Chain A
Amino acid sequence: MYRGRMERDLKRWVDLGLLPQSSASAMLAEYDARESTFSVGRVLLALAALLLSASLLLLVAANWEALPRLARVGGIVVLIWLFHFLAAYFLGRGAKAVGAALLILGTMSFGAGIALVGQMYHLSGDAADAMLLWFAGACLSAAAFASAAVTTIAACLAWAFLITLFESGGLVPAIESYFWLVPVLAVIVLTLVRYTDAARTRHLAYLLCVAWLGALYVDNPEIWLAIAYFAAGLVAFLLASLPRSPLYGLASEAGSAPSFYSFAVAVVGLVALQSEVGGAWAETALGVGLLALALVGIGLAGARNGAVRYLAYAVFAAEILYLAFETLGSILGTSGFFLISGVVVALVAWLVIRVERRLGRVGEVSQ
């Protein structure tokens, strides 16, 4: 983990006499006091809340006849009130971890209530509606309590919504309108992420968008869609990465994620396009396009954004290999395979070393 590495580095700097021991201790203490710091206790508490919620959901699923239905509904409603008010009590006293765990329990109880009503009235064919309702309840709680934990639950529910749609057939007319709702859910989650400071949950929302785009393409493997992905991804990448862009400030507040995921979508679009078109010339031209895209990625965002840089390296290396095999592979046979691989990997290594050194120098100059 980052903390372990930092501790080792600080110790080294203290030993070398670069840093007084008091400063090193103060730095570590500051890091440990941060709220976003990973804490085993907090994670275990959240896991305990999830386990308790699972038991609650399974209890509902067991359809236990010993309790009359109305008593079961009443029990769930009591739990909803109890968990939210206990959460408010603990949050008011500053016990944030306990408060977060109780809020998770509250949101899961709401889900159990929805499931219970579905069971009571034998509802069928409404799985997507139920998931959407649960998601809305989670968003309400996340917004009202500014809770990062519940924002994460909401993100998971948005995923569950997408999975429910897959199970009921994907982009079929009956649920098409739901399908177009998925990016809206992602935007809602991203808004909550900003509002509640749930930084890591951001990736769930971006990955939801990427998964959704993938599903859309699987349903419509059309050339225009691949081009649209490439173009939209590139435009979004430029908007997020160019310091002159109006969205640059907003995007850089969100860390490396906006540049990385938009770059990934552009790459996916071009790769899909390459697999879609026929003809050696078109494929080679697109291959060169992918190499250029990788270089653009490194050039524009590589210095500040490690994620984009490594994705660009991977794309560059994979595409060079692909092109080499498409053009030379058939002539050279199996031993040629390793020859080409060796030469290409050496070339890429040389390029990476050059780029890294150059970026390092740029970094020094700009500082």
Chain B
Amino acid sequence: MSGALPVARWRNPFVAALVVALLQSAVLGYMIESRASILRNGKDVLLRSAPIDPRDLLRGEYVILSYDISRISPDIIMGGLPADAAKAQLFVRLKQQPDGFWGPVEASFSPLAEAADSIVIRSLPFSYYPSAGAPPLFPNYGIERYYVPEGEGSVLETARSAQALSVNVRVDMEGRAQIRQVSIDGAPVYEEPMY
């Protein structure tokens, strides 16, 4: 290996610095904008939620949230189940219930059509294994984590005992969801700014 090969490409390290810093900043900017756009343009959905494991709360950093829509009964799945083990995505149609929370009314492994007064949310890709007896599915939507400032996990833990945690989510046209607001007993605790 010769020492001559390196340095040949970028004579001026400042060009390299410009290219690297610019591209890395652009990536971060793109990531931020792609999430902020969901908050900006998405439709509001109110979900009933509960922190899954109180130990996660005490550990701080983030809280794992489980939702009513995290359990999809096989009865509402349209268009059949995949025959083999596969990478799958679930599309779930949500409708507002009388109590104000949104719940699943229909689900499918292929995209669902838009319809008035309903919203289609898309799960993260997951591994589907066929099994006998059609057990319920537990898809994730990418809204299962809520990062809290250090030492504040206990605020949401009290909500666990109260059983009154609700999460306001915005869902965009592609079915991607983004947490907008976390409330306990209807009173907002955390409100998410766009940026």
Contact for B140 among A76, A99, A125, A196, CB less than 8 A: A125
* Residues of A contacting B: mostly: helix
Contact for A174 among B28, B35, B87, B178, CB less than 8 A: B87
Whether, in the assembled complex, A218 has its beta carbon less than 8 Å from a beta carbon of chain B, the answer is no
Cβ of B150 and Cβ of A69 under 8 Å apart?
A: no
- For B10-34 the 0/1 string (1 means CB < 8 A from A) is 1011101101110111011001100
Contacts of B142 in A (CB 8 A): 123-126
Contacts of B86 in A (CB 8 A): 173
CA distance A69 to B191 in the complex (A): 13
Cβ of A197 and Cβ of B6 under 8 Å apart?
A: yes
Cβ of B147 and Cβ of A80 under 8 Å apart?
A: no
CA distance A41 to B133 in the complex (A): 65
* Residues of B contacting A: mostly: mixed
In this complex, the interface size class of chain B, counting residues with CB under 8 Å from chain A, is: 35 or more
- For A224-238 the 0/1 string (1 means CB < 8 A from B) is 000000000000000
CA distance A216 to B150 in the complex (A): 39
Whether, in the assembled complex, A194 has its beta carbon less than 8 Å from a beta carbon of chain B, the answer is yes
Contacts of A137 in B (CB 8 A): 20, 23-24, 27
Q: Chain A nearest CB: distance from B14 CB in Å? A: 5
Cβ of B1 and Cβ of A125 under 8 Å apart?
A: no
Cβ of B21 and Cβ of A81 under 8 Å apart?
A: yes
CA distance A73 to B25 in the complex (A): 10
Contacts of A69 in B (CB 8 A): 193, 195
When C-beta atoms are compared, the residue in chain B nearest to A193 turns out to be B1
Of B47-55, B123-131, B156-164, the stretch lying at the interface with chain A is B123-131
Cβ of B143 and Cβ of A122 under 8 Å apart?
A: yes
Top 3 A-B residue pairs of the complex, sorted by shortest distance between their CB atoms:
A146-B6, A88-B13, A144-B16
- Interface residues of chain A, those whose CB is within 8 Å of chain B, are 35, 61-65, 69-70, 73, 76-77, 80-81, 84-85, 87-89, 91-92, 99, 106, 110, 113-114, 117, 119-126, 133, 137, 140-141, 143-146, 169, 172-177, 194-197, 199, 253
